[in-house]
Amino acid sequence: METLQDTATKKATTSSPTFKGSGSQMLLNALIEEGVSTIFGYPGGAIMPIYDALYDYADKLEHILVRHEQGGIHAAQGYARTSGRVGVCFATSGPGATNLVTGLADAQIDSTPLVCITGQVFAHLLGTDAFQETDVINITTPVTKWNYQITDAKEIPEVLAKAFYIAKSGRPGPVLIDITKNAQLQIEEFEAYVKCNHIRSYRPKPKVRVEFIEEAAKLINSAQKPFVLFGQGVILGTAEKEFKAFIEKTGIPAAWTIMGEGAIPTDHPLNVGMLGMHGNYGPNVLTNECDVLIAIGMRFDDRVTGRLDKYAKQAKVVHLDIDPAEIDKNVKAEVGVWGDCKETLPILTNLVNENKHEAWVAQFRDYNQQEIDQVITPELYPTGEEMTMGEVLRNINEICGGDAVIVTDVGQHQMVACRYAKFNNTRSNVTSGGLGTMGFGLPAAIGAKYGAPNKTVIAIIGDGGFQMTPQELGTIMQFGAAVKILILNNQFLGMVRQWQQLFHDKRYSFVNITSPDFVALAKSYYIEASKVDQRAELKKALETMINHEGSYLLEVMVGKENNVFPMVPQGCSVSEIRLK
């Protein structure tokens, strides 16, 4: 006898216009309709009907069983960042759902498109403090672009369609859909799935108005020292080509936020480097000398601007952003250009004059030379006995040539990686920018590998951050994600230690962190591993790691008390950047 489920599954596979089955099956059908192929998740009581339905969808939906829901959502983030698609994760109610909160906050502040499905107790139990009941909608409201609780299966198709549309359109962000267990079990006859492309109360893209682009072009054409700052908006808008065309025509030097890194290749002649607290010397100093500042898809985070009342006060600011709330939020714009930069940049490029700005670009080169002499060369080619993080990155660049995906955790190694890693391609730098989530690196790298299966994915993680989510080694073990894990071990919580050294009289308060035997730990998960503490062995060890077929963990012992420079101390202007 054919069960109801069998019938339903068959119907789904033939994508017939109507479908009779459970809410859970409808949910999975909706995911397939939205082009989802990979789900990161963890089962539990309140999401069991969905997992039961998933049992029959193994040929269409790959489910990666993570070891903790935080790992699941970070993996979904990593997936979204490298693939450009919506990341999907499943979690159960209560603790499963609350474990998503860090990832949601991270995705919200870094504009990462996610759809998270959480199970919820039966609708009739809502508000009764039932087992594993949590008010996940209210907990996640500040950290989601949109969220919704489904209590009736009939809502599933429409809500899922909205969820995907909202997550990926406009300024992307995380969406959480909470589904009560009764709705998952409820049998319904569903209409054919219709994708959403319009919500009357939601304008993902403001209308492009050419008159403001004309004003922006006028300012740019009259500028003597124009300077472009770009962020992740260029990548999220898949406007890398349009952006490159703009800077190449105008000859304007361009610097990136860490979220925008890789939108143009590292060695592009107009790529003048990184902005912000640990950014490059020239871009920071010259922010306060340019006459027109053109910000594209970036939001003037405080780590980028330093002290705001001393930030680019001499400059007229042109701000291109898809999110109207970003314009004038931190830095007042002379001309605000609302819109998707994929649409606005070509219009702007058309209106601006060809230019070279050679003397001005040379100023960046002069500052760069000072930085090379005082900071970069000693970091990349150290003469002391201890290894530096910078030389590890230099070796990676030499081996991978800029084609690897680099995933980082948070801290000193993150700043060093962003500063020195070479990128030829967009969507290659995966880092927790806005939230600064330690523990992001390892799970995000798993997702990044699923999102970019043909690329070498290297997770660069500190000894502290690794110990926040090491359980995801289990996920790597079970599913064979070929992630290269590089632990840069300085035996300290290095970034905090650096601040304590510089600003707290070297009072090292709880930054001295001990580590387990990482090699033995990896091997206990059947992951190949090794450790180096000698420079002579470094390159070979890195080559072994990168050329290894599967996943591999390499621990590199680096100097204990190295600092990341340059640095804009907190509360200082960007032009007060210190080289030491």
Partner 1 sequence: MSNDTIKYIESQPDYEGKQDFTITVYAEDRVGLLNRISIIFSKRKINIDSLNTSPSEIAGIHRFTILINESYEVVRKLARQIEKQVEVLKVYFNTDSEVIWQELALYKVSTEEITEKVTVERLLRQYGATAVVIRKDYTVFSVTGHKEETDALVKALEPYELIEFVRSARVAIIKDSAGFHEKLKEFEAEEPGEERVENEFLDKGEKIFTM
Site residues for partner 1 per CB under 8 A: 137-138, 141-142, 145-147, 166, 197-203, 206-209, 212, 215, 323-325, 327-329, 333-339
Amino acid at 504: H
Cis peptide before 566 (omega within 30 of 0): yes
Known catalytic residue at 495: yes
* Nearest to partner 1 of 24, 120 (CB atom): 120
Element (H, E) at 554: strand 552-557
**CA atoms of 96 and 67, how far apart (whole Å):** 11
Handedness of CA 283, 289, 290, 295 (dihedral sign): positive
* Nearest to partner 1 of 137, 519 (CB atom): 137
**CA atoms of 235 and 233, how far apart (whole Å):** 5
> Least CB distance from residue 304 to partner 1, whole Å?
18
The answer to whether 85 touches 129, Cβ cutoff 8 Å, is no
Which residues, in sequence order, are CB contacts of 549 under 8 Å at separation 6+? Answer: 482
Known catalytic residue at 181: yes
> Least CB distance from residue 94 to partner 1, whole Å?
19
Known catalytic residue at 132: yes
The β-bridge partners of 554 are: 486, 530
* Nearest to partner 1 of 210, 579 (CB atom): 210
> Least CB distance from residue 215 to partner 1, whole Å?
7
* Nearest to partner 1 of 188, 321 (CB atom): 321
> Least CB distance from residue 165 to partner 1, whole Å?
10
> Least CB distance from residue 109 to partner 1, whole Å?
13
Catalytic residue among 26, 274, 387, 495: 495
The number of beta carbons lying within 10 Å of the beta carbon of residue 446 is: 31
> Least CB distance from residue 232 to partner 1, whole Å?
17
* Nearest to partner 1 of 207, 580 (CB atom): 207
> Least CB distance from residue 102 to partner 1, whole Å?
17
3-class DSSP state of 425: coil
* Nearest to partner 1 of 24, 232 (CB atom): 232
> Least CB distance from residue 138 to partner 1, whole Å?
6
Catalytic residue among 5, 48, 60, 132: 132
Closest by alpha carbon to 19, among 156, 204, 181, 217?
156
* Nearest to partner 1 of 339, 441 (CB atom): 339
Q: Residue 72 to residues 131, 218, 456, 529: CA-CA distances in angstroms?
A: 22, 48, 21, 24
Catalytic residue among 145, 162, 168, 181: 181
* Nearest to partner 1 of 65, 126 (CB atom): 126
| C-alpha triplet 363, 368, 371: angle, nearest 5° | 135
Produce one character per residue of 258-284: b if its CB has 16 or more CB atoms within 10 Å, e if not: bbbbbbbbbeeebbbbbbbbbbbbbbb
**CA atoms of 28 and 32, how far apart (whole Å):** 6
Three-state secondary structure string covering 170-191: CCCCEEEEEEEHHHHHCEEEEC
Catalytic residue among 33, 34, 69, 188: 69
> Least CB distance from residue 180 to partner 1, whole Å?
14
**CA atoms of 105 and 434, how far apart (whole Å):** 9
Which residues, in sequence order, are CB contacts of 564 under 8 Å at separation 6+? Answer: 278, 412, 415, 416, 419, 495, 498
Half-sphere exposure of 201 (CA within 13 A, CB side): 2
What are the helix and strand counts (H, E) for the chain?
25, 20
Q: Residue 533 to residues 122, 513, 536, 541: CA-CA distances in angstroms?
A: 55, 18, 9, 10
User: What distance separates the 2 farthest-apart alpha carbons in the chain?
Assistant: 81
What letter would DSSP give residue 326?
G
Known catalytic residue at 69: yes
Closest by alpha carbon to 515, among 558, 441, 464, 472?
464
What letter would DSSP give residue 388?
-
* Nearest to partner 1 of 263, 435 (CB atom): 435
Closest by alpha carbon to 26, among 155, 147, 149, 120?
155
> Least CB distance from residue 293 to partner 1, whole Å?
16
* Nearest to partner 1 of 347, 482 (CB atom): 347
Residues with catalytic annotation?
A: 69, 131-132, 181, 495
